Structure 1
Amino acid sequence: MGKNDSWASDFHAPILTLAKDELLNLFSNFDIIEFNERDEDGTTMVGDTKHWHIYSVVAVKRT
């Protein structure tokens, strides 16, 4: 989860958030095939408004 997400600071339990560079550093030994970042307003499954900041990564570990 990115640092701009509504739930990053307003959730009932602590959640780990990462900046883009922190996340990419975790994949330093991987070849990134696809990387997407969503940083936008939207709604939850129950219709509540929230700001989404999520990352999706497809990567292959280098051998």
Structure 2
Amino acid sequence: MLDCSLIVYHPYRSLHQFRNDMKSCSIQNVDQLCQDAWRVCNDGMRSDAALLYHPHMIAIGK
């Protein structure tokens, strides 16, 4: 029997950090931007993006 494990890091922590950085820089429409980014992260979890890209890349939508 094969025994293996897979660790996938979610992009939400990176997204929170980006949000805090943007708020400290007084960027406008941060809340709307973060809601849209959160949706992208949720949609990305339904694909193989978490296996192909680093969490911070998913969080910024690249």
TM class, shorter-chain normalised? 0.3 to 0.5
Which structure has more relative contact order (CA 8 Å, sep 6+)? It is: 2
Q: Write 1 or 2 for the structure with the bigger share of helix.
A: 2
Q: Write 1 or 2 for the structure with the bigger share of strand.
A: 1
State the TM-score, normalized to the length of structure 2.
0.33
